[in-house]
Amino acid sequence: MKLIPLGILGSGKGSNCRAILESIRSGALAAEVRVVISDVFDAPILDIAREFSIPNAYLTPGKFHTRLEPQAEAELVRMLREANVELVVLAGFMRILKSPMLEEFPRRIVNIHPSLLPKFPGLEAWRQALEAGEKITGCTVHYVDEQIDHGRVIGQREVPILPNDTPETLHARIQIAERELYPAVIAAFARKYQAS
Residues binding ligand GRF (CB under 6 A): 10, 12-17, 91-92, 112-114, 175, 178
Whichever of 4 and 144 has its CB closer to ligand GRF, that residue is 144
Q: Reduce the DSSP state of residue 152 to 3 states and report it.
A: coil
Say which amino acid occupies 96: I
Would you list the DSSP string of 41-100? TT-HHHHHHHHTT--EEE----S-SSB--HHHHHHHHHHHHHTT-SEEEESS--SB--TT
Give me the phi and psi of 126, to 5 degrees please: -65, -40
| Closer of 15 and 137 to ligand GRF (Cβ) | 15
> Residue 82 or 158: which CB sits closer to ligand GRF?
158
CB of 118 to ligand GRF, least distance (A): 15
Q: How far is the CB of 2 from ligand GRF (least distance, A)?
A: 26
3-state secondary structure at position 159: strand
At its nearest, how many Å lie between ligand GRF and the CB of residue 113? Answer: 5
Residue 113 designated active-site: yes
| Catalytic hit among 65, 113, 142, 150 | 113
In the bound complex, which residue of the shown chain has the CB atom lying closest to ligand GRF?
Answer: 92
Distance CA 115, CA 81 (A): 31
Q: Which residues are catalytic?
A: 113
